[in-house]
Chains A and B, each alone.
Chain A
């Protein structure tokens, strides 16, 4: 009781000053829908918080300086070596600060989890169509956040100035240099002169600890505010409509769940940081521009760019005394640029093709948007092949195949793979739609065979439950293309004429390709719509289920062409 009174007093004190009772009550009552895939974004948010906490700890000892020092610290194998202060202070954090190694490893793992979470979250958003109106702005913010996350990670793992990260910076320099016209200027401005110079680490440091995290924090805040303001999407299900949100209230349910989830995410990176060594910079040694070892890979989220650099054939033009280094700037800019640009434009392109400008708050099941799903898998395949190619030397060692074969396979695969993935995925989606149709039309097969009095054998089915049915029936009903201007003529309306209109018409056919809609024949949906009624009633009455699909053959009304 005294706790209650203390809380009440505090609340009153605050409300006297802030007028919060009404608004905060509404916040406490806010309903959040529940689904495991909604936790992916939370993984990202909590990884980010962990990154801020652990990163702040690391800054207390880290020296962002490229001044040469001779190492005299406690890691014996490197004693007496010349190295930068940045590298020496990272060794110091690892070996001479209690908990330093742990926090460093948690920081690195959290960064990887942050990026993995972004990818997973983005994939969820895409395949369920959660980016659709009114959430396009948040989708775009998400793409910016992903880009910022990649930069933040790249700059972060470059800071220790070890051999591996130094090579990463060297590659960055080479890539920037290859940009036509301005490349060498940009490289000199970034590095303060020729590579490596003495200023790149301090510059990356301030970008890594202040500017980029500040931007990420600001955008994450907007991202969350919009999610909150527009309310979360929900998966299709019974009682879930475009006009409501079904779930548990923030207080106490969502707060407790999400608090627990924060601890789980933190525990996951703490366990990884404890038991799985990551970025053991003392094994790589300090940076020097002369040495490099095989099997050098960047962190996984840069792997696609690395693979693109590896897969590219040696193309270059020298025209009028100037070099177009296609072999470098095309793979560095084009593949990822394509993926991000396509991702950013897709919501608007889809709206234009389908003409669907309604708000969507119930998500699609991926199978019910076959073209979108197929495109998504296609892009993932493209990305995945380049990503795997980024580790082609490790793959060659692991599978014991010649290195060049892998690169050649990737060179072909990067064009063929996405196309195959598209076709297969679309077929799978359409097949799954047909399977859903079967369930809707005929119910669930129970595996029970029954002999009718007339001697005929039928298989019993039970109708799908209302909950399942609500999910099965949740199909997007896209608006039709603008119809012909009058019933008599076939002349298409003005905006469907011309090249663009014909393109749209063709794309519309592709995007809306779907299995035929389920026929309500009374077996599963039909608890009250006609001839199925009696059967359903009979089934319920026996505490068993209606005679379903198999029985349809015995029903004269629907018998003729209903043999499945």
Chain B
């Protein structure tokens, strides 16, 4: 491996990365003659002779600036050493300090254990089933778990920092680039394989193979086609129809202009029968607002209002959030998502924000029983812009 501490230089090391095992391979497997540098592998200690191999480096001293040269020298000079040198000191420099730290670590681990048992106990005795019980349980389970984890971490850190002796080691890096010899050997092996496979020589196989995989490659796209229906014109229409009653969203009650008479009030409205249909409501949600006489200005379509009650789509024309905020004094409808602001007194034209179009106005009327109805669907698509929208 590249971080063998014996101090071999980069080029040698990376080329010999196969280790001594490579020597026993047949020539055609190990890349043949071109992998000349593989002979370095034989200089490496085999597993059996590991203890007699190049000694390990002395640790703890600041590495010299020219680490590479010195280390290599060191390796050569002490190649005959029989006694390997310890790489890391076994004991911390100050035994008394280490003893203190040891007790602290043990205390941390003890707390972690107790707290861990506390978690188990808390799980057993604190039930859930109401908001306050759940929060109570959360507090005890989380508190004990947190303490366990925290003391485990603290104990481990004190252990590393104050019980283990401090160590600094230096390891050599090697250039990522392989040696030229290795590259050449690779190239040879690659070309050899390509030639043996006849892939290059026989274009008929090559081309038919490519042709065979092409349809397979586009098959997944075909398979995804049934993820959803085509949009068609569905984005342009809602469930509002001529004669469909407006009902209060939530209660489902139809509305008469008389009971919605206090100026400035606003309610969310659903088409009768579709209140619980989220798909329908995602486009058909409407707000109605009552104005004082004369307050409504163009471009509000006056024939579509009833007794100064005007109905706008609640779906923002920016990206479709419900434009749910209304400021009574200024008649501003504000979308809470991206702050598109519409002037409800003037046909819900855009005053500020990223929306480009007014909220579409729903034509209102009154049926024979005096309830508010739509006199048609919206005259334009509601909600966000899309490509097919003209």
Contact = CB atoms under 8 A, between A and B. Distances in A.
B330 interface: no
A363 interface: no
Interface in B234-288: 234-235, 249, 268, 270, 276, 278-279, 281-283, 285
B1 A75 contact: no
B314 interface: yes
Interface string B371-390: 00000000000011111111
Interface string A302-337: 000010011111111010011101011001000000
B306 to A, nearest CB: 22
Contacts of A393: 336, 339
Given A184-B387, A185-B230, A245-B173, A274 B139 contact: yes
Contacts of B321: 167, 170-171, 174, 292
A309 B338 contact: yes
B342 to A, nearest CB: 11
A84 to B, nearest CB: 9
Interface stretch (A117-125, A234-242, A412-420, A522-530): A234-242
Contacts of B388: 184, 322-323
Nearest to A234: B173
Contacts of A311: 354
Interface string B136-175: 0111011101100110111111011000100111111101
Contacts of B62: 238-239
B354 A293 contact: no
Contacts of A510: none
A264 B112 CA distance: 13
A259 interface: yes
B324 A291 contact: yes
A179 B150 CA distance: 48
B350 A314 contact: yes
A174 B384 contact: yes
B173 A361 contact: yes
Contacts of A295: 336
Contact of A325 (B169, B224, B270, B384): B384
A253 B320 contact: no
Nearest to A171: B319
Interface in A81-122: 82, 94-102, 105-106
Interface in A186-213: 187-197
Nearest to B172: A244
Contacts of B4: 26
B216 to A, nearest CB: 21
Interface stretch (B28-36, B92-100, B126-134, B294-302): B126-134
Contacts of B67: 239, 241, 243-244
A359 B387 CA distance: 49
B211 interface: no
B41 interface: no
B168 A246 contact: yes
Interface in B192-237: 224, 227-231, 234-235
A465 interface: no
A539 B165 CA distance: 33
Interface string A261-281: 111101100110111000000
Contacts of A293: 324, 336
A521 interface: no
B355 interface: yes
Nearest to A296: B336
Interface in A530-558: none
Contacts of A35: none
Q: Which of A170, A290, A312, A392 is packed against the most chain B CB atoms within 10 Å?
A: A290
Contacts of A327: 318, 354-356, 385
B171 A30 contact: yes
A407 interface: yes
Nearest to B147: A267
Q: Which of B5, B283, B383, B387 is packed against the most chain A CB atoms within 10 Å?
A: B387
Interface size class of B (residues with CB under 8 A): 35 or more
A406 B318 CA distance: 19
B339 A310 contact: yes
Contacts of B340: 314
A101 B384 contact: no
B390 A318 contact: yes
B386 A270 contact: no
B142 A273 contact: yes
A180 B386 CA distance: 7
A174 B322 CA distance: 12
B228 A191 contact: yes
Given A248-B169, A325-B356, A194 B142 contact: no
A94 B134 contact: yes
Nearest to A242: B173
Nearest to B63: A239
A135 to B, nearest CB: 10
B77 interface: no
A336 to B, nearest CB: 16
B325 interface: yes
Nearest to B389: A323
A478 interface: no
A427 interface: no
Nearest to B286: A290
Nearest to B5: A29
B319 A174 contact: yes
A69 interface: no
A39 to B, nearest CB: 12
Contacts of A436: none
B82 interface: no
A196 B385 contact: no
Interface string B51-84: 0000000000011110110000000000000000
A102 B354 contact: no
Interface in A283-301: 287-296
B352 interface: yes
Contacts of B155: 260
Interface string B326-370: 000000000111111000000000101111110000000000000
Contacts of B134: 94-95, 100-101
A559 interface: no
Nearest to B156: A260
Contact of A189 (B137, B228, B336, B356): B228
B336 A294 contact: yes
Given A174-B320, A192-B227, A31 B173 contact: no
A65 B227 CA distance: 17
A506 interface: no
B178 interface: no
B170 A256 contact: no
Given A31-B169, A31-B171, A264-B150, A177 B164 contact: no
Contacts of B68: 243-244
A401 to B, nearest CB: 14
Contact of A174 (B142, B149, B230, B318): B318
A292 B314 CA distance: 11
Interface of B: 1-5, 10, 19, 47, 50, 62-65, 67-68, 87-88, 123, 126-131, 134-135, 137-139, 141-143, 145-146, 149-150, 152-157, 159-160, 164, 167-173, 175-176, 224, 227-231, 234-235, 249, 268, 270, 276, 278-279, 281-283, 285, 314-315, 318-322, 324-325, 335-340, 350, 352-357, 383-390
3 closest A-B pairs by beta carbon, nearest first, are: A274-B142, A174-B319, A263-B153
27 contacts: A22-B19, A76-B131, A96-B129, A97-B128, A98-B127, A98-B137, A174-B383, A177-B386, A178-B385, A189-B224, A230-B176, A241-B65, A243-B10, A256-B160, A261-B153, A263-B153, A267-B153, A273-B142, A274-B141, A288-B278, A290-B281, A290-B314, A291-B268, A292-B322, A316-B356, A321-B390, A323-B387
Given A193-B229, A194-B282, A243-B67, 19 more contacts: A95-B130, A98-B127, A99-B137, A100-B134, A102-B142, A105-B138, A170-B319, A195-B279, A231-B3, A239-B64, A239-B67, A241-B65, A244-B63, A274-B139, A288-B278, A289-B315, A325-B384, A327-B318, A393-B339
